[in-house]
Amino acid sequence: MLVTFSSRAHADITLFGDVAKKLLELMGHSGTIPSAMLPEELPDALARLEAAVAASKAAEQQADPDADDFQPGLAQRALPLITLLRAAIAAHAEVMWDS
């Protein structure tokens, strides 16, 4: 499953369903797809997501950099959504997502 996030303030972004659901949960949302967030909910959601990314980066720095099972970290996966959230906050726009 793919999940597409949209806002009038930014181009749509599409993520794999499992990644999208995890990011939504980190933002404090239930992870329900489809759904939306109102403009006034976005600053808190963004702060939660950025805090989770910072914690993930700290954990990744302690992991073995030579491990053969490298996977993109949370920061890499969250960056497009963080960019969309920042644009939506600046434009006081809602963010919606659907599969």
Give me the tens of pLDDT residue by residue for the chain, a chain 99 residues long.
Answer: 999 999 999 999 999 999 999 999 999 999 899 999 999 999 999 999 999 999 888 777 776 655 555 456 888 999 999 999 999 999 999 999 999
Q: Does residue 6 contact residue 83 with C-beta atoms inside 8 Å?
A: no
Q: Does residue 94 contact residue 38 with C-beta atoms inside 8 Å?
A: yes
Enumerate the domain spans of the chain.
2-60+72-98
Query: Alpha-carbon distance 22 to 74, whole Å?
Result: 10
What is the pLDDT, as a whole number, of residue 67?
56
Q: Does residue 46 contact residue 29 with C-beta atoms inside 8 Å?
A: no
What is the pLDDT, as a whole number, of residue 68?
52
Crossing angle of helices 17-26/74-91, nearest 10°?
60
Instruction: Compute how many other C-beta atoms are within 10 angstroms of the C-beta atom of residue 84.
Output: 23
Whole-model pTM: value is: 0.86
